[in-house]
Structure 1
Amino acid sequence: MKKATFLLPVAVVVGALVLSSLFIVDERQKALVLQFGQIKAVKENPGLAMKIPLIQEVVRYDDRILSLDTAPIEVTPSDDRRLIVDAFARYRIADVVQFRQAVGVGGLRVAEDRLAGILTTQTRQVLGADGVTSNTILSADRAELMTRIRDQSAARASALGLDVVDVRLVQTNLPDQNLDATFARMRAEREREAADEIARGEEAAQRVRAQADRTVVELVSESTRDAEITRGEADAERNRVFAQAYGADQDFFEFYRSLTAYERALQGGNSSMVITPDSEFFDYLDGSSGRDK
Structure 2
Amino acid sequence: MKKSAFLLPVLFVIGALGLSSIFIVDEREKALVLQFGRIVAIKEDPGLAFKLPVIQEVVRYDDRILSIDVEPLEVTPLDDRRLVVDAFARYRIVDVNQFRQAVGTGGEMAAENRLDGILRAELRGVLGNVSSNDILSSDRAALMLRIRNGAISEAESLGIEVVDVRLKRTDLPAENLDATFERMRAEREREATDERARGNEAAQRVRAQADRTVVELVSEANKTSEIIRGEADARRNNIFASAFGEDPEFFEFYRSLTAYERALQGNNSTMVLSPDSEFFNYLKSDQGAVAGQ
TM over 0.5: yes
Specify every segment of 5 or more residues in structure 1 that has no aligned partner in the other structure, as ranges.
none
Instruction: Give me the CA root mean square deviation.
Output: 4.1
Change in CA separation of 1:82 and 1:108 when aligned onto 2, cut-off 3 Å:
same
Question: In 2, are the aligned partners of 1:87 and 1:167 still within 8 Å (CA)?
Answer: no
Counterpart secondary structure, 1:134 = coil
Residue number among 148, 151, 161 corresponding to 2:150 in the alignment: 148
Q: Does 1:61 align with 2:65?
A: no
1:8-46, CA deviations, whole angstroms, 9 ceiling, x for partnerless residues?
x99x96998566654321222123456898877543221
- What's the secondary structure of 1:214's corresponding residue? helix
Q: Which residue of 2 aligns with 1:234?
A: 232
Structure 1 CA distance, aligned partners of 2:285 and 2:69?
128
2-structure distance, mates of 1:263, 1:36: 144
Q: What is the match of residue 162 of structure 2?
A: 165
Distance in 2 separating the partners of 1:210 and 1:258: 54
TM-score, with length taken from structure 1? 0.71
Superposed structure 1 runs of 4+ greater than 6 Å apart: 12-16, 34-40, 52-57
Q: Structure 1 residues 256 and 60 mapped into 2: Cα distance closer, same or farther (>3 Å)?
A: same
Taking structure 1 as reference, are residues 27 and 168 closer, same or farther at Cα in structure 2, changes over 3 Å only? same
Report what 1:46 is aligned to.
46
Superposition deviation, residue 70 in structure 1? 0.8
1:76-113 alpha-carbon deviations (Å, 9 max, x no partner): 46775533333333333344456557453x54334323
- Please give the TM-score of this superposition, normalised by the length of structure 2: 0.71
Q: Pick from 193, 196, 201 the counterpart of residue 194 of structure 2.
A: 196
SS in 2 for 1:72: strand
What SS class does the counterpart of residue 111 from structure 1 fall into?
helix
What is the CA-CA distance between 1:278 and the residue it aligns to? 4.6
1:203–1:81 distance in 2 versus 1, CA, 3 Å = closer
Q: Which amino acid aligns with 2:156?
A: A
Secondary structure at 1:27 match in 2? coil
Q: Alpha-carbon deviation of 1:62?
A: 1.1
Corresponding residue for 1:292? 291
Q: How many residues are matched?
A: 275
Question: Which amino acid in 2 is paired with 1:292?
Answer: A
Q: Return the alpha-carbon distance in structure 2 between the equivalents of residues 150 and 86 of structure 1.
A: 19
Out of 61-70 and 84-93, give the one that drifted further.
84-93
Query: How far off its partner does 1:213 sit?
Result: 1.5
Query: Unmatched 5+ residue regions in structure 2?
Result: none
Name the CA shift for 1:84/1:169 in 2 (closer, same or farther; >3 Å): farther
Higher alpha-carbon deviation: 73-82 or 61-70? 73-82
Instruction: Give 1:71 shift.
Output: 0.9
Whether 2:89 is the aligned partner of 1:89: answer yes
The residue correspondences of 1:113-132 to structure 2 (distance < 5 A) are 113-121=113-121, 123-124=123-124, 126-127=125-126
Assess if the C-alpha contact under 8 Å between 1:149 and 1:167 holds in 2.
no
Instruction: Give the share of equivalent positions with the same residue, in percent.
Output: 60
Amino acid in the other structure paired with 2:63? D
